[in-house]
Chains A and B, each alone.
Chain A
Amino acid sequence: MRQDYDKFLAQDAELLVVGPEDADAFRRYWSDHNLPFPGLPDPKHSVLKLYGQQVKLFKLGRMPAQVIVDINGIARYVHYGKNMSDIPSNEEILAALA
């Protein structure tokens, strides 16, 4: 994600990462990995529930999900992972932004 961040910026897109971890965990991870995009802790799962990520369904962990919201606030691309490795490539996401 980090290497392709410039490509997202070139398409006038911001990358927002939301996760159930708390602010401290996010801060440490962002600092360890030197990530340039915003990280949004959601320990209450409020946005995760709002967007329907399947939080408790599998014990191994949550399924990943990506949503592209265009400049008018409309959802244009939605991907819910069926398993842990079901994540679209950055190329797919960039293609959807173009």
Chain B
Amino acid sequence: MKVIQFYKNEKQLIKKASNEHRDAQRQLYDKYAPKMLSVCRRYIRDVHFAEEVMLNGFLKVFMNLKQYSFQGSFEGWIRRIMINESISFLRKEKDVLFTEEVLGYTEESWNNIHTKFEVEQIQELIDSLPDGYKMVFVLYAVEGYKHSEIAKMLEISESTSKSQLFKARKVLQQKVNQQNNISNGSIEI
């Protein structure tokens, strides 16, 4: 019963917000802004830039809210807008290069990483990646997009998307190995 009420309430809220009702817009912002900032932060190293991108994302959400047809989750709809904004920011601010070279990576070695990392460490590892690798890795490993979808979003080929992913994993693997060597390779089973 609560879930249904919540859904009805959110639907009414969305309709009000689409009619430029400022209070309704504020409620939606307060509900989804923290999560969306986290999404933007995955792609953008600087949190201030990430917040700017997030606000631009919400601006687009409220301006195009009437186009939301209530098919699929509202959060997923906002998330997609945030990801597009983040990618646009990275491509605009920096020259993102997607190279085709695959240098000595094997999937077997990647699956042998058993270290648990905290979110800050993970974020730090991801931040160390070049932007091209980072975007493909986050879209594939975190957001769950397929290579065909990633290729369309980034305007690259599927093969490039795959190679970028492999490179990202290689770099992360090297980083993880370095960290493990520093902490004397602690392993949890």
Partners in one complex: no
> Which residues of A are interface residues toward B (Cβ below 8 A)?
none
